[in-house]
Amino acid sequence: MEKGLKRSCVMVVVAFFAMVHVSVSVPFIILHEIGTQCSDATNANFTQLLTNLSGSPGFCLEIGNGISDSWLMPLTRQAEIACDNVKQMQDLSQGYNIVGRAQGNLVARGLIEFCDDGPPVYNYILGWSSCWHRRFSSSGGICDITNGDVYRDYVQDNLAPSGYFKNPYNVTEYLKGCKYLPKLNNERPADQRNQTYKDRFTSLHNLVLVLFQNDTVIVPKESSWFGFYPDGDKEHVLPVDQTKLYIEDWIGLKALVLAGKVQFVNVPGDHLIIADEDLVKHVVPLLQDQESAAPRLNRKTKEPLHP
């Protein structure tokens, strides 16, 4: 009698949990901007703020020693380290979301496109996307190097921003000597483009592109939405849907747009300055539990797991 009662109780409990939706928080990582590190108050507080607002565990992913490596380590290597790190983090093994800040987005995109056998990325929120950086057009220092030598091997191997500097007046040398951005953008002849990079990027469930209206760092600011200058012209900016990257769909951005998976967000403020209400409106929902957007997967087989 007692054994029968215990068995009945167990069956009731099992049946109850079978009917209850099991919600699993999808973790997120933050990849920070150049010249900073995860332990900085800004990055630490931003990570904690998003964790508090979303209820999901968040991690600032450090590359090397932070500040100096963000400047001096080539982005190809930074993306490789990021890939190794996420594969070693058990918390991310079933998939995760990414929030990128400035240069961290170049690493994030490399993580998405280049990382073999890594856990899936579901949602990606980025503050800017490609191509031109104000630091190269300011006076002194880096400008003296990049104006004439940016595409030389020594600069490409020892100055991270050189890997995503696209000079619209010197596209031939850019394609020949730049070691990161052309690969990242699949900016190759059609028969040489890497389909795997495109497939991985289009596997995203959601992509949020944030443009800061008063951005004085990113030039042109429209590159936050993948817009850019036409070749040989730095006076006019092509909107994203008029660029070759979009029209020929080099990385799958057009496919994501047509599938309704891309949000083009325009917020007031300067570079990376975003109000809490805009975070709550545009970023936090993508970091919260989304059953359809983030199924739990077997890490080896990539098959869905069932509670």
Task: Classify residue 111: in a domain, yes or no.
Answer: yes
Q: How many domains does the chain have?
A: 1
Task: Classify residue 161: in a domain, yes or no.
Answer: no
Distance of alpha carbon 123 from alpha carbon 214, whole angstroms: 26
The domain that contains 238 carries what CATH number? 3.40.50.1820
Per-residue pLDDT at 218: 80
172 neighbors 229 (Cβ within 8 angstroms): no
Task: Classify residue 176: in a domain, yes or no.
Answer: no
Q: Block means of pLDDT (10 residues each) for the chain, length 307 residues?
A: 46 36 75 95 95 96 95 97 98 96 94 98 78 38 55 96 93 95 94 97 96 82 90 91 96 98 88 82 86 42 40
Using CA atoms in the order 228, 231, 233, 237, what is the torsion angle rounded to 10 degrees?
Answer: -20
Per-residue pLDDT at 252: 97
Task: Classify residue 49: in a domain, yes or no.
Answer: yes
Angle between helices 75-88 and 104-114 in degrees, nearest 10:
60
From its phi and psi, is residue 164 left (phi > 0), alpha (psi between -120 and 50) or beta?
Answer: alpha
Task: Classify residue 146: in a domain, yes or no.
Answer: no
132 neighbors 165 (Cβ within 8 angstroms): yes
Name the percent of the chain in helix, strand, coil, to the closest 5: 45, 10, 40
Task: Classify residue 173: in a domain, yes or no.
Answer: no
Q: Which domain holds residue 264?
A: 26-131+196-287
- The size of the chain, in residues, is 307
Per-residue pLDDT at 21: 35
Per-residue pLDDT at 27: 98
- What predicted TM-score, i.e. pTM, was given to this entire model? 0.82
Phi (first) and psi of residue 58, to 5 degrees: -125, 150
Task: Classify residue 5: in a domain, yes or no.
Answer: no
Task: Classify residue 20: in a domain, yes or no.
Answer: no
Per-residue pLDDT at 16: 37
Distance of alpha carbon 252 from alpha carbon 254, whole angstroms: 5
